Structure 1
Amino acid sequence: MFEVRTDLAVEENERITKAQEETKGISVTEEDYGEEQIHITTVRITTENGAKQMGKPKGTYITLEAAEMIEDDEDYHREISKRLAEILKELIPVCDKQKNYKESTENQKKVSRKGFAQAKHELEGTSILVAGLGNRLVTPDALGPQVADNLYITRHIIKEFGRRAYENEQVQPVSAIVPGVMAQTGMESQEIITGIIREVKPDYLIVVDALAARSVRRLGRTIQITDTGIYPGSGVGNHRYSITKETTGIPVIAIGIPTVVEAATIVYDSMSALIDELAHAESLQPLKTSWNRLTEAEHRNLVRELLSPQLNHMFVTPKDIDAEIKRMSYTISEAINLAFCG
């Protein structure tokens, strides 16, 4: 059986809707920001049945779609970053109040250990670790590392001087790591990140990674944010250890942009469009009728049988992916900076 791979929950929901399957435990809401040409779809999986149907863990999946995101327009990307920052603030409630740490220190004998720790936390803020997953030497997979490169890192300053070291005292302690891939380190990304969490003790983990899509139109135009963590490589059939709350011990927010699509998907989309066009001729109407009798899975299995073995496992990326990765990495890093560093 040919499995169509995608990391996007919104595409799985479209598949279920198209197949007219009964959905339970899945809710979908949509928001359209016409002036900014941004469309946001929120898919919530609330039951085990819904998770099984979607093939994804229970949780919230927010998809931000911006058709012009591939364009080199700084003002437009700034609007996307602002929307993404708002979403991150909703998913990660930060500590925006401060107490006088010195005063608490002088009176620490009078307060409980828990109360003193809380005062210290309010001084330092909500600690956030950002992990840029992927291989910076492989352009379509370099999104995570490039995002980490552009972040505003604040943890070391706040640990030393507190948030009053910054003009904006709502700045949160942000740190970052690029764990690389197993071929470079001999270690799973999850192993490296878990070890860092054990020492650094952040409150939240944000992982950024490149994704795989089912539709060509979503390449470089879609950002998915989820509170379920991530399963690196699953979109291209290269399953690695999961990075989730269960494996790390802290809440994990995953951000991803699809940068590759399976070759078979391109052939399938082209065949569907060709049959629709040819079907305008009355003599070819039976061809369209026969095609429409097949399910989407049967369509894709047929396509795979027609493809050569070399193409069956090939993934395709846009020709200007290097420029796109650079723009998209700035968009995500700016959103994180806006959300937690003002």
Structure 2
Amino acid sequence: MSYKVEDKDNKQENDLNKIFEGNPDIDFKQIEKFNVKISKIKVKNKRGEKLLGKKVGYYSTLELPKLTYYDANMMDKISLMFGDVLKEFISMDSDKTALVIGLGNWNVTPDSLGPKVISKLFVTRHLKEYMPESIGSDVSSVCALSPGVLGITGIETSEIVKSLVDRVNPDYVICVDSLAARKVSRLNTTIQVGSTGINPGAGVNNQRTPLNEETLGVPVIGIGIPTVVDALTIVSDSIDSILRNILKDVDEEYIEKNFLNNNKMEIIRKNLSLCMGEMIVTPKDVDAVIESMSKMIAMGINIALHPNLDMDSLNKFIN
């Protein structure tokens, strides 16, 4: 499996606008539209890295309303918003080429987000190269691949992608992957974008060579959705909820300091590792979730990579 652990955001439960207001190391902006909260963060330097737990770069997170994946109108709105967010990370035109990589195992439903996104993209590099007269000048050059996972191919994903980059010479690489959620509440409810690439397998302690600008030589944008959660995280979140309800009249800072400390996860891991430490959990409706989420991600990517085409035009090409 290729799950990457979702980006750290230890302060996500607090008012980040107040926390980072005037901070010289981190820029933070948050907007809300159609009940979708969009957070944008720029980590400027090493001090910002230490404060937030993220590498220097740009990050955006879309927090979706619950059951979005059953609402077709909402899915269209999110596709447009996601496409606009992605445009802030890339600047495409008809002379540029983008390579989209769908990470994950297509045989495992919650890990199949990347491959499913690839199947819904408007790929055009072959048309622009071999049949330029059949496609308008407004269309950008896009190619895509689902490289599979090491257990299926016997080849490291980084080796496959690096070979492609050397051959295709794209201006951008976009990697799409399933994530392992850090909190149960984030499961299937966030779309995360980052300019620092992606680490396949990190979410299940299966570290692989990262896919980023340092390893590939071109800008790499990582896109992910938390589709699974570690059983230990479920236990940890349950304990948090129980303690807060039992101690609801006690000062929140006191609870954090004395009960929800940094050693909590390690204590849980030691006590439960024999029975559920390696268990990865996903919702029962994961099939519907992955199908809907992959459509939103794919359309958002199509919108960003073909900025001269609107959603109606794109639907004509890919349906």
Interval of TM-score (by shorter of Structure 1 and Structure 2): 0.7 to 0.9
The match for 2:315 is none
The match for 1:134 is 104
The match for 1:208 is 176
Q: Distance in 1 between matches of 2:244 and 2:51?
A: 29
Is the counterpart of residue 155 in structure 1 residue 155 in structure 2? no
Q: CA deviation at 1:230?
A: 0.7
Q: Distance in 2 between matches of 1:277 and 1:300?
A: 20
Paired residue type of 1:157: L
Is the counterpart of residue 31 in structure 1 residue 4 in structure 2? no
**CA 1:192–1:290: 2 relative to 1, 3 Å:** closer
Instruction: Tell me which moved more, 51-60 or 153-162.
Output: 51-60
Q: CA deviation at 1:303?
A: 2.8
Is the counterpart of residue 333 in structure 1 residue 301 in structure 2? no
Q: CA deviation at 1:25?
A: 2.2
Q: Identical aligned pairs, as a percentage?
A: 37
Q: CA deviation at 1:308?
A: 4.7
Paired residues in the alignment total 300
The match for 2:204 is 236
Q: CA deviation at 1:6?
A: 4.1
Higher helix share: 1
Q: After superposition, what is the alpha-carbon deviation per residue over 1:277-323, rounded to whole angstroms, capped at 9, x for unaligned?
A: 3336x9xx79x967751343123233334425231232211111121
Q: CA deviation at 1:77?
A: 0.6
SS of residue in 2 equivalent to 1:41: strand
Q: After superposition, what is the alpha-carbon deviation per residue over 1:239-278, rounded to whole angstroms, capped at 9, x for unaligned?
A: 1001011111111111110111121121122122222333
The match for 1:47 is 45
SS of residue in 2 equivalent to 1:174: strand
Q: Distance in 1 between matches of 2:75 and 2:186?
A: 16
Q: 1:272 aligns with which of 234, 240, 243?
A: 240
The match for 1:166 is 135
Q: Distance in 1 between matches of 2:270 and 2:35?
A: 39
Contact 2:68 2:74 in 1 (8 A): no
Structure 1: 4+ residue segments shifted above 4 A: 15-18, 288-292
Contact 1:69 1:220 in 2 (8 A): no
Q: Over alpha carbons, which structure has the higher Rg?
A: 1
Q: 1:324 aligns with which of 282, 289, 299?
A: 289
**CA 1:188–1:71: 2 relative to 1, 3 Å:** same
CA RMSD in angstroms comes to: 2.7
TM-score of the superposed pair, with normalisation by structure 1? 0.80
SS of residue in 2 equivalent to 1:134: coil
**CA 1:292–1:184: 2 relative to 1, 3 Å:** same
Q: Distance in 2 between matches of 1:290 and 1:132?
A: 42
SS of residue in 1 equivalent to 2:61: strand
TM-score of the superposed pair, with normalisation by structure 2? 0.85
The match for 2:265 is 300
Contact 2:92 2:304 in 1 (8 A): no
Is the counterpart of residue 8 in structure 1 residue 7 in structure 2? yes
**CA 1:225–1:309: 2 relative to 1, 3 Å:** same
SS of residue in 2 equivalent to 1:91: coil
Q: CA deviation at 1:199?
A: 1.0
Q: 1:312 aligns with which of 271, 277, 287?
A: 277
**CA 1:17–1:49: 2 relative to 1, 3 Å:** farther
Q: Distance in 1 between matches of 2:47 and 2:180?
A: 24
